[in-house]
Amino acid sequence: MKHLFIINPTCGKGISFERCAKGIEEAVEELNITDYEIHVTEGPKDGYNYAKAQVDKGDPIRVYACGGDGTLWEIVNACACKKNAQVAAFPLGSGNDFIRIFGDKKNLRDVKDHINGTVMEFDLIKCGEEYAINQCSMGLDAEVCARQASLKKLPFIKGEAAYTLGVLLQFFGEMKKTFTIKIDDEEEFTSDVLFCVAGNSRWYGGGYFAAPKALTYDGELDFVIVKKDVLRISLLPLIDKYKRGEHLTWDRTIYKRGKKVTIKAPKESAVNIDGEVRFGKEVTFEIVEKGINFVVPACSDFLERVRNNNV
């Protein structure tokens, strides 16, 4: 099997790049791996294009996304539904929301743990021709996501801080969206909402616990819809509760599990696909069961928690 390491040199403001490259060289030498390659990305979509070209050859390959959630998104889309490909995520970004399921990212920075990891089939979310492994959404959080990239460029502003600042800025703009929503074969409904999340995993925005019960391998998505039924000044105290994942019990929250949700908006609205922003008036988020082979790091207790039904 070939081991392909895709490194985003600007991730985490470039601080971790040299350490990552050195760690890869040391790990492959220690584990006697000769079929490997390190590719340093030169711009957006370069990681996707390079990885896809290698994956499409059809030979067994493990692609390591060495960066943040954006790098992982590119590699996931290059490897989605490809039986010959495996994906590992080496965290260098400020958010790295998806790999929080494996533990603290600071403990996931030994390359050998990813090389020696165990492969597990995870679900994906399909939106149009693109895939997400973490979460898709529309509404307030997607609008915040559209702001987040530029906010991260500010000094001392990282993943969580950028998302929180984006929420506060959005607070003075458009808060609610009127969506017509249909989950699976249920009757569609129209409501003023803050946001609608389809979660395959649990965190986004640098640590916001948006879908606290979502599982990456159970063949269903968690749909979290929070209605806009109070004045905006009343929403400020709720931000921290939302961040901690306490919103599922709110009277204004609709929480359901299923395979597919379709959202219609009266005008073009932001669509969040694992942090990538698109715009549309109608979108569908749909489960792709066992859509990707993902590497659980050897240092993580994730598999033990799965066996014990304690994830």
Residues 77 and 142 placed together within one structural domain of the fold: no
What is the structure's pLDDT at 239?
Answer: 82
Residue 253 lies in a domain: yes
Residues 144 and 17 placed together within one structural domain of the fold: no
Out of 172-181, 210-219, 292-301, least confident range: 172-181
Residue 226 lies in a domain: yes
Three-class SS of residue 144?
helix
13 confidence band (pLDDT: 50, 70, 90): low
What are the helix (H) ranges across the chain? Answer: 17-30, 46-55, 69-79, 111-115, 140-151, 159-171, 238-243, 302-307
How far is the C-alpha of 194 from the C-alpha of 262, rounded, in Å?
A: 16
17 confidence band (pLDDT: 50, 70, 90): confident
- Tell me the chain's radius of gyration from C-alpha atoms: 19
Residues 276 and 203 placed together within one structural domain of the fold: yes
Residues 101 and 187 placed together within one structural domain of the fold: no
Residue 129 lies in a domain: no
What share of the chain has pLDDT > 70, as a percent?
88
How far is the C-alpha of 131 from the C-alpha of 76, rounded, in Å?
A: 7
What is the structure's pLDDT at 34?
Answer: 96
Q: What is the 3-state secondary structure (H, E, C) of 266-309?
A: EEEEEEEECCEEEEEEEEEEEEEEEEEEEEECCCCCHHHHHHCC
How far is the C-alpha of 288 from the C-alpha of 77, rounded, in Å?
A: 13
Residue 163 lies in a domain: yes
Asked if pLDDT for residue 129 goes beyond 70, the answer is: yes
Asked if pLDDT for residue 206 goes beyond 90, the answer is: no
pLDDT digit string, tens, across residues 89-106: 999 987 899 999 999 999
Contact 105, 76 (CB under 8 A): no
Residues 284 and 295 placed together within one structural domain of the fold: no
pTM of this prediction?
Answer: 0.92
What share of the chain has pLDDT > 90, as a percent?
76
Higher pLDDT, 210 or 172: 210
234 confidence band (pLDDT: 50, 70, 90): confident
What is the structure's pLDDT at 205?
Answer: 82
The rounded mean pLDDT for the chain is: 91
Residues 49 and 74 placed together within one structural domain of the fold: yes
What is the structure's pLDDT at 14?
Answer: 60
CATH number at residue 221: 2.60.200.40
Asked if pLDDT for residue 140 goes beyond 90, the answer is: no
What is the structure's pLDDT at 207?
Answer: 85
Asked if pLDDT for residue 159 goes beyond 90, the answer is: no
pLDDT digit string, tens, across residues 235-280: 778 888 988 999 999 999 999 999 999 999 999 999 999 999 999 9
Q: Is 14 exposed, middle or buried (0-12, 13-18, 19+ CB in 10 A)?
A: exposed
Residues 116 and 158 placed together within one structural domain of the fold: no
Q: Give the domain range for residue 189.
A: 135-289
168 confidence band (pLDDT: 50, 70, 90): low
How far is the C-alpha of 11 from the C-alpha of 9, rounded, in Å?
A: 6
231 confidence band (pLDDT: 50, 70, 90): low
pLDDT digit string, tens, across residues 50-61: 999 999 999 999
Residues 120 and 144 placed together within one structural domain of the fold: no
